[in-house]
């Protein structure tokens, strides 16, 4: 893209840490830890799922999901990270496996994560969407 990047190295590092932290939370099945990485008004727009809005709703949704399935491997590979000021996005691919497997489950997906810098200075997920590759 030709737009000038305005994120600092520290911003890129924080966003990379966010990616690492959410991967760890999902692999640990820790819905509370996942929720803490999200903004208060986060929007989860996952395939096959109604819109999930807000940190509390997201935590309840993920807790139920982690009860049903265990994510045994997950790799998020960023393709592009861009942002201006307090708003950024990351596009990437993800590979995951779950137990037990489910009908129609796709192990290979594309994702867009929108991130916002909260007033406390921390970058958090504001919107998460993915689809099948």
Partner 1 sequence: MITPRTSWISTALLGSLAACTPAIDLEAERTALRATDEAWAAAASEGTDVELVASFWSEDATIYPNEAPVVRGKEAIIEFVRTSFDMPGFHVTWQPQEVVVAGSGDFGTTTGTNEFTVPGPDGALVVIPGHYVTVWSKNAEGDWKCVIDMFNSRAPATRAETP
Binding site for partner 1 (CB under 8 A): 1-3, 6, 43, 45-51, 83-87, 89, 91, 110-112, 114, 116, 126-127, 129-133
Do 92 and 111 contact (CB within 8 A), yes or no? yes
Report the alpha-carbon distance of residue 65 to residue 87 in Å, rounded: 28
- Would you say 24 or 65 has its CB closer to partner 1? 65
- Would you say 48 or 100 has its CB closer to partner 1? 48
Supply the DSSP symbol for 2: -
Report the alpha-carbon distance of residue 22 to residue 107 in Å, rounded: 17
Do 79 and 94 contact (CB within 8 A), yes or no? no
Q: What angle do CA 1, 110, 36 make, to 5 degrees?
A: 95
Q: How far is the CB of 27 from partner 1 (least distance, A)?
A: 23
Q: How far is the CB of 28 from partner 1 (least distance, A)?
A: 25
- Would you say 98 or 129 has its CB closer to partner 1? 129
Q: How far is the CB of 43 from partner 1 (least distance, A)?
A: 5
- Would you say 67 or 84 has its CB closer to partner 1? 84
């Amino acid at each position: 893209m030709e737009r000038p990047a305005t994120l600092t190295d520290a911003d890129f590092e924080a966003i990379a840490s966010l990616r690492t932290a959410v991967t760890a939370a999902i692999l640990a099945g820790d819905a509370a830890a996942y929720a803490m990485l999200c903004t208060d008004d986060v929007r989860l727009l996952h395939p096959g799922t109604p819109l999930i809005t807000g940190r509390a709703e997201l935590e309840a949704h993920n807790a139920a999901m982690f009860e049903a399935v265990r994510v045994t491997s997950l790799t998020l590979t960023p393709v592009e990270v861009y942002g201006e000021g307090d708003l950024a996005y990351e596009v990437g691919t993800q590979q995951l496996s779950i137990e037990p497997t489910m009908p129609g489950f796709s192990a290979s997906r594309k994702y867009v994560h929108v991130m916002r810098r909260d007033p406390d200075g921390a970058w958090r997920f504001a919107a998460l969407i993915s689809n099948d590759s």
